[in-house]
Amino acid sequence: RTPVNLAVIGGDGIGPEVVAEGLKVLDAITGPGTFATTRYDLGAARWQRTGEVLPDSVLGELAQADAILLGAVGAAPGATDVPSGLLERGLLLKLRFAFDHYVNLRPSRLYPGVPTPLAGDVLDRGEIDFLVVREGTEGLYCGNGGTVRTGTPHEIATEVSVNTAFGVERVVRDAFERATRRRNKITLLHKHNVLVNAGGLWRRLFESVAAEYPGVTTDYLHIDAAMIFLVTDPQRFDVIVTDNLFGDIVTDLAAAVTGGIGLAASGNINPDRTFPSMFEPVHGSAPDIAGQGIADPTATILSVGLLLEHLGFAEEAARVEKAAVADIAARRGQPRRSTSAVGDAIAAAV
């Protein structure tokens, strides 16, 4: 069999540290020769050295990969040496848009024994296991806006959210399909009481797709109220579908209540398989802990699990998840291990 062609972008900060552990686990589970990995040196350092963020030639090579594993890109939120958004827009979002990653999959499960800020009576209600299907190619992320009278007291800055019927319907449909493979419940999060145009479109298309899935129970919450229920009654959620920015925000909170950002995995999926899908932890480059060898690589390892699943290695994917979950459960009361110690342990277990 020809090897699976995996493109690897470590990126910035803790990105390369956690990706190294993801690859360790991948190697351990698939053995030599199954995957051929190609590393791409992209991120802040390359930009500072060459002025390049994502050359077209590299974009063209990445398009030929079977899948992409990404760590994280971006400088510290307060940094002034790298313009804010340069790498986020020019690299990460460019890949999501160019490769039509319209399904941004972000599962959240509270694994046994994992510390959570949730109150005991909330936990008594049962398992927390939901999947956010975040739209990945539209909304406020399109870069549709600008400033006029820039730098004056009369400056006006606009960011216009783009929501197409085509783009909304395809992600809603994908989310309904996923609900049928889970607990048959789906919740739309939006804010149609204020965002009447975009919210109205989402609501109408959600309802028309719902008519094709009579076995799926539907629900709707305004995004602000959803933040309450995520903390007071997270068991009410199975599949959540929402737009790009709401999905970004809700998945950081989802991570925080299910064991922390160090555990949250994601897949940027191109369901049509016209382009490679891209797998990455939900977290960023964590400049505050970069270079110390203490970042939790579990989110990246679980993202490798999602990658394996996507590529048809279902049995291997299940083993990665099982080993990661066992490792997470065994952490209780133990001293914090280094990034590589966690990777070693999970790699040994798979």
The catalytic site residues sit at: 141, 191, 224, 248, 252
Phi–psi pair at 68, nearest 5 degrees: -125, 135
CA distance 278 to 311: 11
Best CA proximity match to 254, nearest among 265, 244, 243 = 265
Task: Return the number of other C-beta atoms located less than 10 Å from residue 222's C-beta.
Answer: 15
Q: Per CB under 6 A, does 283 bind ligand NAD?
A: yes
CA distance 224 to 246: 10
Q: Per CB under 6 A, does 295 bind ligand NAD?
A: yes
Q: Could you tell me how many helices (H) and strands (E) the chain has, helices first?
A: 13, 12
Among 59-67, 142-150, 284-292, 330-338, the segment contacting ligand NAD (CB under 6 A): 284-292
In sequence order, what are the beta bridge partners of 221? 189
Site string for ligand NAD, 179-218 (x = CB under 6 A): ----------------------------------------
Q: What is the DSSP letter of 139?
A: B
Pick from 15, 74, 234, 287 the residue near ligand IPM by CB under 6 A. 74
Strands 103-109 and 129-135 turn out to be antiparallel
Q: Per CB under 6 A, does 16 bind ligand IPM?
A: no
Q: If contact means CB under 5 to 8 A according to the sort of partner, which of ligand NAD, ligand IPM, Mn ion, none does residue 93 touch? A: ligand IPM
Among 46-54, 88-96, 147-155, 223-231, the segment contacting ligand IPM (CB under 6 A): 88-96
Contact positions with ligand NAD (CB under 6 A) in 3-22: 14, 18
CA 136 to the chain's CA centroid: 10
Among 87-95, 145-153, 192-200, 227-235, the segment contacting ligand IPM (CB under 6 A): 87-95
For the bound state, the minimum distance from the C-beta of residue 50 to ligand IPM, rounded and expressed in Å, comes to 22
Q: Per CB under 6 A, does 289 bind ligand NAD?
A: yes
Contact positions with Mn ion (CB under 5 A) in 235-294: 248
Q: Per CB under 6 A, does 92 bind ligand IPM?
A: yes
Pick from 54, 62, 68, 75 the residue near ligand NAD by CB under 6 A. 75
Pick from 9, 29, 189, 282 the residue near ligand IPM by CB under 6 A. 282
Q: Per CB under 5 A, does 135 bind Mn ion?
A: no
CA distance 243 to 190: 7
CA angle 325, 328, 332 (to 5 degrees): 140
Phi–psi pair at 299, nearest 5 degrees: -60, -40
Q: Per CB under 6 A, does 105 bind ligand NAD?
A: no
CA distance 284 to 88: 10
Q: Per CB under 6 A, does 93 bind ligand IPM?
A: yes
Q: Per CB under 6 A, does 280 bind ligand NAD?
A: yes
Beta carbons within 8 Å of 114's beta carbon, 6+ residues apart: 258, 259, 263, 328, 329, 331
In sequence order, what are the beta bridge partners of 279? 69, 267
Contact positions with ligand NAD (CB under 6 A) in 247-266: 261-262
Pick from 92, 205, 226, 350 the residue near ligand NAD by CB under 6 A. 92
Residues lying near ligand IPM in the complex (CB under 6 A) are found at: 74, 88, 92-93, 248, 282, 284
